[in-house]
C-alpha cells in the first residue's frame, strides 16, 4: 500500500526529497509555511519582509536538507533557520542605519559623536548567547509583548520571563565587564 503525501511524516518527506523527489519538499513547505511566515511576521512586523524571510528560510532549508536530523521536528528546524536569518537581517539593518546616520551627519557637517553608552550596550548584547539575546531584542528593541515572544520562539510564558530575567542580568554583567575593560585600556 502506497501512502499519500499527507499521510507521510516529515522525516519520510525529507528522505524522499533527498532521494530526488522534489515534490516532497513542496509538501513540507505546504505543511509549515504558515508557522514560518508567522514567526517571520512576529519578528519583522511587516508582511512583505515576513514573506521574503519565509521564502529565504525554505530556500536555505532546501539547501541544508542533508543536515536535518529526523529525530527532531522538521517544523522546529525550519523555524530555527527562519529565526537565525531574521536575526542576521536585524544586525545588517542596524549596521546599515548606523552607516546612513553617519553619512547624513557627515554630509550635514554635523560631527559624528557616537554615544558610548549605546556602543557599550550593543557590544554587550552581541556577546550574549542567542538564547538570551533574542528575547531581549524582541522585547526591548521590537516592542513585542511576552505573549508574542512566547509564540515567536515557541516557548512557554514562564520560559520567556526566565530568559528575559537571566538575559538582563547577564547583559548588566557584560556591560560592567566592558566598562572595566575600557577603564583598564584608557
pLDDT grade for 3, boundaries at 50, 70 and 90: low
Sorted by where each begins, the domain ranges of the chain are: 1-88, 114-186
Q: Give 37-52 pLDDT, tens digit per residue.
A: 988 887 777 899 899 9
Q: Which fold has domain 114-186?
A: Arc Repressor Mutant, subunit A (1.10.10)
| Burial of 135 (C-beta count, 10 Å sphere; 0-12/13-18/19+) | buried
Whether the pTM exceeds 0.75: the reply is no
Overall average pLDDT of the 147-152 stretch: 78
Selecting from 3.40.228.10, 3.40.50.720, 1.10.1740.10, 1.20.1070.10, what CATH number does the domain 1-88 have? 1.10.1740.10
Is the model more confident about 36 or about 148? 36
Residue-by-residue DSSP string for the chain:
-PPPGGGS-HHHHHHHHHTT-THHHHHHHHHHHHHHHHHHHHHH--HHHHHHHHHHHHHHHHHTGGG--TTS-HHHHHHHHHHHHHHHHHHHHHHHHHHHHHHHHHHHT------HHHHHHHHHHHHS-HHHHHHHIIIIIS---HHHHHHHHT--HHHHHHHHHHHHHHHHHHHHHHHHHHHHH-
Is the model more confident about 115 or about 35? 35
Is the model more confident about 112 or about 80? 80
Look at residue 18 and tell me whether its pLDDT is greater than 70: yes
Q: How far apart are CA 8 and CA 69, in angstroms?
A: 17
Amino acid at each position: 500500500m502506497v501512502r499519500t503525501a499527507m499521510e507521510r511524516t516529515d522525516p519520510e518527506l525529507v528522505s524522499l526529497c533527498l532521494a530526488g523527489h522534489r515534490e516532497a519538499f513542496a509538501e513540507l513547505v505546504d505543511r509549515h509555511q504558515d508557522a514560518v511566515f508567522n514567526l517571520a511576521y512576529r519578528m519583522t512586523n511587516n508582511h512583505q519582509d515576513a514573506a521574503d524571510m519565509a521564502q529565504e528560510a525554505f530556500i536555505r532549508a532546501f539547501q541544508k536538507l542533508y543536515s536535518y536530523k529526523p529525530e527532531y521536528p522538521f517544523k522546529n528546524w525550519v523555524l530555527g533557520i527562519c529565526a537565525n536569518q531574521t536575526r542576521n537581517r536585524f544586525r545588517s539593518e542596524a549596521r546599515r542605519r548606523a552607516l546612513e546616520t553617519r553619512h547624513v551627519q557627515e554630509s550635514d557637517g554635523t560631527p559624528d559623536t557616537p554615544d558610548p553608552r549605546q556602543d557599550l550596550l550593543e557590544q554587550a548584547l552581541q556577546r550574549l548567547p542567542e538564547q538570551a539575546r533574542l528575547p531581549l531584542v524582541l522585547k526591548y528593541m521590537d516592542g513585542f509583548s511576552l505573549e508574542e515572544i512566547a509564540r515567536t520562539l515557541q516557548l512557554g510564558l514562564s520560559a520567556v520571563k526566565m530568559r528575559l530575567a537571566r538575559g538582563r542580568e547577564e547583559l548588566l554583567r557584560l556591560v560592567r565587564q566592558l566598562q572595566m575593560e575600557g577603564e583598564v585600556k584608557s
